[in-house]
């Protein structure tokens, strides 16, 4: 029985990993989502606006060493839904998470000259004394405390000075759109209607996150309470 359970756990783990590799998630806000849906474009931006200055410094170094006019970036996560991603990257009722079909999205980006894609590697401070990064690694390195972000990046090397760059993408590469867990259910229904009325979006799967208020999870807690009460009654009847 133990062996069977271990086997099931192994296969379940492999299924989860395989499933995660199928998707990339982009946490953003409603204005950015509406622009993406209406224009069928996704926007790469200047990393100098990022809060993590260690991160933007590495991209500046990369730009200088490659003698580029600009380096633009677009960040995704390879992780499943987390409170951290919502709170940091899509906080408030206007936050959204766009889940992309990984292979299809990357296929639509690859033909663009200067595009690079890859997973971020997270290094501990103790590791950096034993190695020297290559120039090509710089856009894909980050400090270890950020590892839970499980980031995937799209980088554009440009000879021109740019602050932003739009890439055409097919709407078919979107698997689903998840609205903020802080958006009320009433407003969520209206937002869904607005999004579905955008040309080409009628068939998109749009849901509201139940991360911070899920009825199944609440019912699970109720069952534990009922079990305690039953146990007390059984002891009392002996």
CA nearest 203: which of 214, 213, 192? 192
DSSP 127-162: TGGG----GGGGGGEEEGGGGGG-EEEEEEEESS--
Q: How far apart are CA 26 and CA 174, in angstroms?
A: 11
The one-digit pLDDT tens for each residue of the chain (238 residues) are: 555 555 555 444 454 445 568 999 999 999 999 999 999 999 999 999 899 999 999 999 999 999 999 999 999 999 999 999 999 999 999 999 999 999 999 999 989 999 999 999 999 999 998 889 999 999 999 999 999 999 999 999 999 999 999 999 999 999 999 999 999 999 999 999 999 999 999 999 999 999 999 999 988 888 886 655 555 556 555 5
Domain ranges of the chain: 14-213
Length of the chain: 238
**Residue in 82, 76, 97 with CA at minimum distance from that of residue 30:** 97
Task: Return the closest-CA partner of residue 75 out of 92, 52, 94.
Answer: 52
Q: Are strands 23-29 and 141-143 parallel, antiparallel or unpaired?
A: unpaired
Q: What is the pTM of this model?
A: 0.85
Using the structure block, give the residue that is written with the tokens 């710089």: 138
Asked if residue 41 lies in contact with residue 167, where contact means CB atoms within 8 angstroms, the answer is yes
Q: ∠ CA 3-4-10 to the nearest 5 degrees?
A: 90
CB 81 within 8 A of CB 175: no
Q: Please tell me whether residue 76 adopts helix, strand or coil conformation.
A: strand
DSSP state of 112: S
pLDDT at residue 173, as a whole number: 97
Q: What was the pLDDT predicted at 146?
A: 95
């Amino acid at each position: 029985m133990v062996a069977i359970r271990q086997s099931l756990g192994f296969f379940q783990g492999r299924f989860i990993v395989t499933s995660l590799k199928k998707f990339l998630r982009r946490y953003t806000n409603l204005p950015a989502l509406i622009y993406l849906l209406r224009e069928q474009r996704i926007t790469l931006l200047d990393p100098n606006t990022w809060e993590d200055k260690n991160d933007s410094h590495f991209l500046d170094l990369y730009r200088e060493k490659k003698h580029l006019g600009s380096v633009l970036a677009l960040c995704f996560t390879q992780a499943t839904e987390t409170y951290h991603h919502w709170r940091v990257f899509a906080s408030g009722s206007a936050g959204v998470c766009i889940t992309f079909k990984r292979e299809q999205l990357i296929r639509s980006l690859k033909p663009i000259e200067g595009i690079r894609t890859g997973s971020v590697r997270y290094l501990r401070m103790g590791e950096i004394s034993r190695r020297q990064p290559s120039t090509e690694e710089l856009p894909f390195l980050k400090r270890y405390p950020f590892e839970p972000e499980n980031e995937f990046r799209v980088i554009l090397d440009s000879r021109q000075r740019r602050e932003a760059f739009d890439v055409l993408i097919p709407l078919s590469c979107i698997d689903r759109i998840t609205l903020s867990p802080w958006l009320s259910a009433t407003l969520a229904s209206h937002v869904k209607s607005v999004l579905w009325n955008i040309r080409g979006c009628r068939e998109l799967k749009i849901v509201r996150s139940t991360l911070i208020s899920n009825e199944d999870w609440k019912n699970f807690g109720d069952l534990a309470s009922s079990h305690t009460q039953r146990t007390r009654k059984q002891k009392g009847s002996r």
